[in-house]
């Protein structure tokens, strides 16, 4: 698995390296997170109770409402936020939120990225490359 | 993205730094999502409660609000989603002074930007409904899905920063549901059961939302035995958007783009088809009700109540008394009518509290739960049940009548 690279359809933000937190589940900052404690708080979420601080979140699809467009900026200002978001399928809200917060996000793969990246792997995410990618270190 | 001369000038800062930031933000978003150019929009609608904004977001707004008037004001009618409080009842909700201070500062900043503080998520019922084919930049997923589906308007989910940008530039990147090709159905739902109750419409929306899975999906419903009323469509759409991140649905023979199902089904394509019956709705409701014998609070919100819902609630409460907190959340446009017609007085005489201009889940729901000792909550909003689990509540989805009965029985569920 080491060195394996997966290309995304689109990306924004900066290059980051961090530990992956992976689940076949959705993502919404309002619905799923306790943003004060920095943990997934929705009981039904597969990452319930897990800290997301400084992790590269590898998840299936953007979910929920529009609040994430502000919340990524607010989380960034307090320094309790993921290192990056890697999604099979983004929605406009995640893109808008990442744009405001200057947050690293890539999305759109030709396979299920939540199956391809092992939970806990060290990964590199580069949205600045000609073809944005995530690589297992 | 292709830019007009005016857009190029905005990007170069000829219209000031705020419009420059706005169009740069829109270009970044549009490029990511594959937009070729911009489309002019008729209205913008901004979701910006201060729980989402935080202090950082309010400060960010205030820096722009300090610009000269000609550089800071929106160009098109720009309205707001519910705020994070009803100042008249903040003490009842045990909201903290710092929350109210942030709200006041955010409101002052938006007013300086020329935004109309409508504070509503039912603007399609009360302010200025969009018309078919009209391009919009709406925030609040419930507003977007209703406008796209029931009205035939064209909007993506526009979060607060992007809706504000659209207000400032008068346009939005042309991607997603502004395009003909993305408005076609991607799967079919055959409904053997047409709901009669608002909570059932929400449950149906939740089930379809789970089947959808992501923003690109457009369900088309077949088999409904009548045209849903506006409030029914409202609860269905709000739940569908909440559970599934879905922005558009069709109902065969009902919604304007699907007068014939063939109008929204691509020719020569076989779509996946799901069947939903009443047992599926009951299963969804039962999942929320597991092991909950009583609730601490009853909330009618998400979306805000229409005048008709306020009337229904007042009638159900007549001659009864809620001995646990019962909140009915409506818009600042409906509230004066409810006051004038005596509906507010009837609800409050029965122990309820009518809140205006806010929405329960956008009002520091976690802090309210901790301050008031609220753990379990009954509501007739499927959307609210979907959201509040993450805020530490145990929500139960019931009909309005069942919620009222629980409130008048000390919270006990039958």
Please indicate whether, in this complex, the C-beta atoms of A61 and B245 are within 8 angstroms of each other. Answer: yes
Please give the pLDDT value at position A1. 61
* pTM for the model: 0.96
Q: Name the least confident of A9-13, A40-44, B137-141, B352-356.
A: A40-44
Cα distance between residue B126 and residue B128, in whole Å: 6
Q: Would you tell me which CATH number, out of the four given (3.40.50.150, 3.50.30.10, 1.10.10.60, 1.10.357.10), belongs to the domain A5-136?
A: 3.50.30.10
As its CATH architecture, domain B5-179 has: 2-Layer Sandwich (3.30)
- Domain extents in chain B: 5-179, 184-284, 291-407
Please tell me which of the candidates B29, B52, B55 has its beta carbon nearest to residue A95. B29
- Domain extents in chain A: 5-136
Please give the pLDDT value at position A95. 97
Structure token digits, residue B410: 């000390």
Please indicate whether, in this complex, the C-beta atoms of A92 and B160 are within 8 angstroms of each other. Answer: no
Q: Does A68 touch chain B (CB under 8 A)?
A: yes
Tens of pLDDT, residues B110-165: 999 999 999 999 999 999 999 999 999 999 999 999 999 999 999 999 999 999 99
Please tell me which of the candidates B52, B139, B158 has its beta carbon nearest to residue A74. B52
Q: Does A77 touch chain B (CB under 8 A)?
A: yes
Please tell me the distance in Å from A19's CA to the nearest CA on chain B.
Answer: 24
Q: Which fold would CATH assign to domain B291-407?
A: Aconitase; domain 3 (3.30.499)
Write out chain A residues lying below 8 Å of B44, CB-based: none
Please give the pLDDT value at position A77. 95
Question: How many CB pairs below 8 A link A and B?
Answer: 135
Q: Does A74 touch chain B (CB under 8 A)?
A: yes
Q: What is the ipTM of this complex?
A: 0.95
Q: Which residue of A has its CA nearest to B141?
A: A65
Please give the pLDDT value at position B266. 81
Please tell me the distance in Å from B172's CA to the nearest CA on chain A.
Answer: 12
List chain B residues with pLDDT less than 70.
none
Tens of pLDDT, residues B169-199: 999 999 999 999 999 999 999 999 999 999 9
Please indicate whether, in this complex, the C-beta atoms of A77 and B158 are within 8 angstroms of each other. Answer: no
Mutation target to probe the A interface, by most A beta carbons within 10 A, among B154, B242, B390, B394 is B390
Tens of pLDDT, residues A48-104: 999 999 999 999 999 878 999 999 999 999 999 999 999 999 999 999 999 999 999
Q: Does A30 touch chain B (CB under 8 A)?
A: yes
Please give the pLDDT value at position B39. 98
* Length in residues, chain A: 137
| Helix (H/G/I), strand (E/B), else coil: B104 | helix
Identical topology for domains B5-179 and B291-407: yes
Q: Which residue of B has its CA nearest to A24?
A: B213
Q: Which residue of B has its CA nearest to A77?
A: B56
Average pLDDT of chain A to the nearest whole number? 95
């Amino acid at each position: 698995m080491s060195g394996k690279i997966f290309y995304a359809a689109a990306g924004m933000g900066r290059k980051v390296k961090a530990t992956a937190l992976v689940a076949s589940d959705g993502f919404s900052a309002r619905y799923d997170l306790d943003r004060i404690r920095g943990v997934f708080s929705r009981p039904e979420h597969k990452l319930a109770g897990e800290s997301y601080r400084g992790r590269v979140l590898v998840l299936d699809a953007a979910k929920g409402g529009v609040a994430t467009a502000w919340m990524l900026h607010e989380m960034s200002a307090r320094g309790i936020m993921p290192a990056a978001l890697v999604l099979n399928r983004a929605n406009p809200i995640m893109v808008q939120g990442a744009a405001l917060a200057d947050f690293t996000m890539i999305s759109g793969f030709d396979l299920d990225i939540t199956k391809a990246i092992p939970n806990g792997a060290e990964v590199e995410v580069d949205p600045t490359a000609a073809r944005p990618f995530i690589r297992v270190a | 993205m292709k830019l007009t001369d005016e857009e190029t000038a905005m990007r170069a800062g000829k219209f000031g730094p705020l419009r420059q930031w706005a169009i740069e933000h829109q270009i970044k978003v549009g490029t990511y999502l594959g937009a070729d150019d911009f489309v002019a929009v008729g209205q913008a609608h901004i979701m910006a409660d201060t729980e989402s904004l935080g202090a950082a977001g309010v400060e960010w707004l205030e820096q722009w609000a300090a610009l000269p008037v000609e550089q800071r004001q929106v160009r098109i009618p720009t309205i707001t989603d519910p705020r994070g409080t009803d100042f008249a009842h903040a003490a009842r909700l045990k909201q903290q002074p710092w929350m109210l201070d942030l709200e006041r500062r955010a409101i002052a900043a938006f007013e300086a930007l020329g935004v109309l503080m409508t504070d509503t998520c039912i603007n399609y019922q009360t302010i200025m409904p969009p018309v078919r084919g009209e391009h919009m930049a709406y925030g609040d997923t419930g507003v977007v899905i209703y406008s796209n589906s029931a009205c035939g308007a064209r909007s993506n989910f526009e979060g607060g920063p992007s809706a504000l940008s659209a207000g400032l530039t008068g346009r939005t990147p042309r991607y997603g549901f502004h395009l003909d090709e993305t408005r076609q159905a991607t799967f079919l739902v055959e409904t053997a059961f047409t709901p009669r109750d608002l909570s059932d419409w929400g449950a149906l929306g939740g089930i379809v939302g789970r089947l959808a899975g992501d923003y690109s999906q457009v369900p088309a419903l077949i088999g409904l035995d009548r045209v849903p009323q506006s409030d029914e469509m409202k609860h269905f759409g709000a739940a569908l958007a909440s559970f599934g991140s879905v922005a558009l649905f069709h109902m065969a023979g009902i919604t304007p783009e699907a007068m014939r199902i063939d109008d929204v089904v691509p020719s020569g394509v076989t779509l996946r088809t799901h069947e939903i019956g009443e047992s599926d709705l009951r299963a969804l409701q039962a999942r929320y009700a597991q092991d909950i014998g009583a609730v601490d609070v009853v909330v009618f919100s998400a979306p805000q109540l229409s005048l008709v819902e306020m009337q229904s609630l007042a009638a159900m409460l007549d001659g009864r008394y809620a001995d646990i907190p019962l909140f009915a959340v409506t818009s600042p446009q409906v509230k004066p009518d409810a006051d004038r017609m005596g509906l507010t007085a009837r609800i409050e005489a029965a122990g309820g509290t009518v809140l205006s201009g806010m929405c329960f889940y956008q009002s520091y729901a976690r802090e309210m739960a901790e301050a008031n000792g609220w753990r379990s909550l009954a509501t007739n909003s499927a959307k609210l049940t979907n959201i509040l689990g993450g805020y530490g509540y145990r929500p139960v989805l019931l009909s309005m009548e069942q919620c009222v009965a629980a409130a008048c029985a000390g919270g006990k569920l039958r």
